[in-house]
Amino acid sequence: MPRVSKGTRTNKNTKPSTLPAKFRSGFLAEMDKRTELARALRDNYAAIVDDIGGPSEVGHVKASLIERFCWLEAVLQTLEHEMATGQIEKSEALGKWIQAVNSLSGLAKVLGVDRKLASRPWLAPTPKGEADDE
């Protein structure tokens, strides 16, 4: 006999599915992981961790900065989309956009914009004298 619902279950989702308006530490872990936004943010976070050299190179401070970088990058993309589609006046958003780009650039410098070779040993430079002699 098939199961029949009594209609009492609400299946409310209590996890946020949108980007918070203000940065909140731990927002990424709190998001509904089923949403496209959460997946994209988590992928960005993982890519940055790989660029830095892998999880072994990321302590508490760097993890916090990476989370801020991901949030700020998403805010920038939202601003750019709103300007491009005419949802917000360019003159109104340009100041916020410039400030966000400068902040993102500063975070990138602190985190290190160059990829580390720890997680990519095949990219390690060849010592002098050991080049392929084919």
Rounded Cα–Cα distance for residues 73 and 24 (Å): 15
Q: What angle do CA 13, 18, 19 make, to 5 degrees?
A: 140
What are the phi and psi torsion angles at 46 (to 5°)?
-65, -40
Rounded Cα–Cα distance for residues 3 and 21 (Å): 42
Residue 134: what pLDDT? 46
Helices (H), the chain: 27-30, 36-52, 60-84, 90-111
Residue 45: what pLDDT? 94
pLDDT tens digits, one per residue of 43-83: 999 999 998 888 888 899 999 999 999 999 999 999 999 99
Rounded Cα–Cα distance for residues 126 and 12 (Å): 56
CA-derived radius of gyration, the chain: 21
The pair of three-digit structure tokens given for residue 39, joined into one six-digit string: 């997946």
- Domains in the chain: boundaries: 27-117
Length of the chain: 134
